[in-house]
Structure 1
């Protein structure tokens, strides 16, 4: 049973290292400068309605 766990651990480590290498290659090749966010902070904050229009709907942004 210990051998199976060791093999799974090695496979997981190899898979993770390949994923990280692929992500680094995309970033080095001129990935998105905004880190994947298509709205900047000001645009995001203006899209959030502080109060919901319908009665009984909880708005998590209002009750911080």
Structure 2
């Protein structure tokens, strides 16, 4: 899986966190990448990690 394939599915959740919490999508995506080491530890759907990380920020 390349980096574009990892980032693309994160975009809808990142945009949602922007609308809801006014957090820049780039920050939400960057935090997801950092927290999961490029999704090495995520086994479920990628989008499930976005709301959790958005509420932590």
Q: State the TM-score, normalized to the length of structure 2.
A: 0.28
Q: Which has the larger radius of gyration?
A: 1
Q: Given the two structures, how large is their TM-score scaled by the length of structure 1?
A: 0.26
Greater length-normalized contact order (CA 8 Å, ≥ 6 residues apart)? 2
